[in-house]
Amino acid sequence: MNTWKEWIFTTDHKRVGVLYLIGSLAAFGVAGIMALLMRWELTSIGPTLTENPSTYNVWLYAHGAVMILGFQIPALTGFFANYCIPLMIGAKDVAFPRLNAFSVWLFYVGIVLAVLTFFIPDPPDIMWTAYPPYSTITSGNTAFYTFTVLILGFASILGGVNFLTTVAYMRAPGMSWNKLNIFVWCTVAAFVLQLIFVPVLGTAVTLISFDKYLGTSFFDPARGGDVLIYQNLFWFYSHPAVYVIFLPFIGVVYEIVATFARNRVFNYKMVVYGGIFGIVGLSGVVWVHHLYVTGMADWIRIGQMVTTLLISVPVGFTVIGLVGTLYKGAISFETPMLYALGVIFLFLIGGLTGIPLAITSLTLHLSDTYYVVGHFHYVMAVAGTFAIFGGVYYWFPKITGRMYSETMGKLGFWITFAGTNVVFWIMMDIGVKGMPRRYFDYAHFPQFENAHQWMTGGAALIGVGFALAVINWIVGAARGAKAADNPWGSQSLEWTTQTPPPPGNWKDVPTIREEWDPYAYAQR
């Protein structure tokens, strides 16, 4: 059979993973260009790039929806989960390889739909949140948004079913639950969240298309409906979605940090049973903090403030585990490690700036300003993307069998890191001073024009840095030096097979010895 057919029709988890990576990086490119277009538009007061505010809305829609649904979630729960989990647990493949191939092609169908946004008349212009009543009365194509979410969501659910079954039943002999990599635990938790919460989002977005095209009245107050149902259903998924992104990305960071600090994971059981389990347990009871300003009973508002502040405790456990792993480690600063340390830094800023947003009295001032945008880009968007880039660098030798350029990798990291802090720090600053989010134009806020110009410059830096990384991978995959089986000296199982791994992963399924541990580095 031809090589390209072996790729397109593959059911092998590694190749499915690589397909996920290619698709999600393409999505990242598209959504990143949308961000640059928005930043360009905002360089000056008045129309800069387009006269039409609706065009700006389409960019805003495509940036948010594609970044979250087309890039971060598929890269983390598609690419990393597919590539790493069977190798980390010592399995030959996932439980249902054909179902896995189905997931990845559904993902591509979702990407096709998302990209069609730029070619169809009346593209969706409803942001990624698609709040009614606007989404049910706009002339934009809300149906494409609904189907993009449904198809990507269905792919996620099938992936969740597949991987939970795989981890539960296909671990290598001797691979007990407490020997699993932190990444495996994190991803399992993320898939549990996906299974519980994605259907709720699916329902919510289906109901807006029902209302818009089939005449139902879920969100139409004139006929007894209520728009707040949508906001509740939407955030009931979309807040846990933050943990669907956070958990796998912090898992990737754990793998990188343990390897480059050459140290055991600090307090493994606290991280797993306190941190990861705690996040899963609390993730379903904090969504109302997205609706603080919609008006609600005080007891709900205060209760949600308490749970929102409380969930920072398990999240804190996971960060303490990282810092403890660094402590007394023999740290070296290869590119993946730079990205991992970058994640810790960005996540710390993002996490701490989230606390004022959780507090109901402060959030009234901050709601719907650039402060919110800066916060979630620090905590989730850029931290997650840094983890994805670091992870791709980290497993790059295993995937391609070749090495990337270390100099170019580090250069790309520092450029992006600088750009990130310029953009999102300024964003939080002008947000506190009153710059509202989602505005196409800011004639009423001329005092921020200079800040907007700085942010556009920073955004360009981010773009250059990420482009350097992608170029580095393409060149490395084609012409890099041959990589050894275990170039980083990691103890984890995925590095023990040959590079790149053959079909079926192992000649014989490995048997795990009693004393084996994925982080068994010499103690100091």
Partner 1 sequence: MSHEPSAHAAHAPEWEVSVWPFVISFGILFALPVAFAFKFVYGLSFAAILALGIGTPMIVAGIAGWVKEGLGSHHGAGLAFPAMGWFILAEAMIFLSMFAAYWFNRLTAEAWPPAGSVELPRIMPLVMTVVLVASSLTIHHAEALLHAGKRAGFVNWLVLTMLLGAVFLGMSAYEWNHLIHQDFTTDTNVFGTVFYSITGLHGSHVIVGLGIFIALLLPALRGKVNTPFVKTASLYWHFVDIIWFFVVSQVYYW
Among 31, 106, 250, 379, binds partner 1 (CB under 8 A): 106
- 380 contacts: CB under 8 Å, gap ≥ 6: 72, 242, 245, 246, 350
Nearest distance from C-beta of residue 398 to partner 1, angstroms: 17
**CB of residue 258 vs partner 1: minimum separation in angstroms?**
23
The count of residues interacting with partner 1 (CB under 8 A) is 83
Cβ 395 vs Cβ 330: under 8 Å: no
Closest among 428, 489, 480 to 455, alpha carbons compared? 428
Give the 3-state DSSP-derived string for 340-355, with helices as H, strands as E and coil as C.
HHHHHHHHHHHHHHHH
Per CB under 8 A, contacts with partner 1 among 23-82 are: none
Centroid of chain to Cα 165: 23
| 112 sits near partner 1 (criterion: CB under 8 A) | yes
Separation between Cα atoms, residue 328 and residue 314, nearest integer Å: 24
Q: Tell me the closest approach of the beta carbon of residue 237 to partner 1, in angstroms.
A: 9
Measured from the CB atom, the residue of 407 and 498 that comes closer to partner 1 is 498
Contact yes or no for 110/152 (Cβ under 8 A): yes
Closer residue to partner 1 (CB): 199 or 434: 199
Distances (CA, A) of 193 to 136, 200, 280, 469: 28, 11, 7, 31
Q: How many residues does the chain have?
A: 524
Among 98, 365, 438, 444, binds partner 1 (CB under 8 A): 98
Residue 468 parent element (H or E): helix 449-479
Contacts to partner 1 from residues 121-140, by CB under 8 A: 121-122
Note whether 196 binds partner 1 by CB under 8 A.
yes
The sign of the torsion formed by the CA atoms of 276, 280, 286, 287 equals: positive
Of the candidates 234, 286, 240, the residue with the CA atom closest to the CA atom of residue 130: 234
3-state secondary structure of 496: coil
Asked if 210 touches partner 1 (CB under 8 A), the answer is yes
Stretch that binds partner 1, among 209-217, 238-246, 425-433, 461-469 (CB under 8 A): 209-217
Q: Kindly identify the residues of this chain, within the stretch 215-234, that bind partner 1 according to CB under 8 A.
A: 215-218, 220, 223-226, 228-229, 232-233
Partners of 436 in beta bridges: 369
Q: Shortest Cβ distance from residue 227 to partner 1 (Å)?
A: 11
Considering only residues 224 through 283, tell me which ones interact with partner 1, judged by CB under 8 A: 224-226, 228-229, 232-233, 236
How far apart (Å, rounded) are the C-alpha atoms in residues 188 and 247? 9
Q: How far is 108 from 212, CA to CA, in rounded Å?
A: 26
Please identify, among the stretches 375-383, 394-402, 443-451, 503-511, the one whose residues bind partner 1 according to the rule CB under 8 A: 503-511
The least distance separating partner 1 from the CB of residue 93, rounded to whole angstroms, comes to 8
Which amino acid is it at 84?
Answer: C
Q: Which window, 55-63, 326-334, 439-447, 498-506, contacts partner 1 (CB under 8 A)?
A: 498-506
482 φ/ψ angles, rounded to the nearest 5 degrees = -65, 135
CA 430 to CA 271: how far, in whole Å? 36
Among 113, 186, 189, 469, binds partner 1 (CB under 8 A): 113
Question: In 256-323, which ranges are E strands?
Answer: none
Q: Which of residues 175 and 338 has its CB atom nearest to partner 1 in the complex?
A: 175
Which of residues 363 and 497 has its CB atom nearest to partner 1 in the complex?
A: 497
Phi, psi of 278 (to 5 degrees): -65, -40
Judged by beta carbon, residue 74 or residue 412, the one nearer partner 1 is 74
15 binds partner 1 (CB under 8 A): yes
Q: φ and ψ at 436, to 5 degrees?
A: -75, 150
**One of 97, 316, 401, 434 touching partner 1 (CB under 8 A):** 97
Taking the complex as a whole, how short is the minimal distance between the CB of residue 250 and partner 1, in angstroms?
Answer: 23
**160 vs 342, beta carbon nearer partner 1:** 160
Contacts of 10 (CB under 8 A, 6+ apart): 16, 19, 101
Q: Is 200 in the site for partner 1 (CB under 8 A)?
A: yes
Q: In angstroms, give the least distance from the CB of 454 to partner 1.
A: 40
Sketch the per residue contact string, 298 through 317, with partner 1: x for CB under 8 A, - otherwise.
Answer: --------------------
- C-beta of 224 vs 446, nearer to partner 1: 224
Q: Which of 50, 129, 203, 367 binds partner 1 (CB under 8 A)?
A: 203
Q: Which residue has the tokens 């938790």?
A: 189
Q: Give min distance, CB of 513 to partner 1, in A.
A: 14
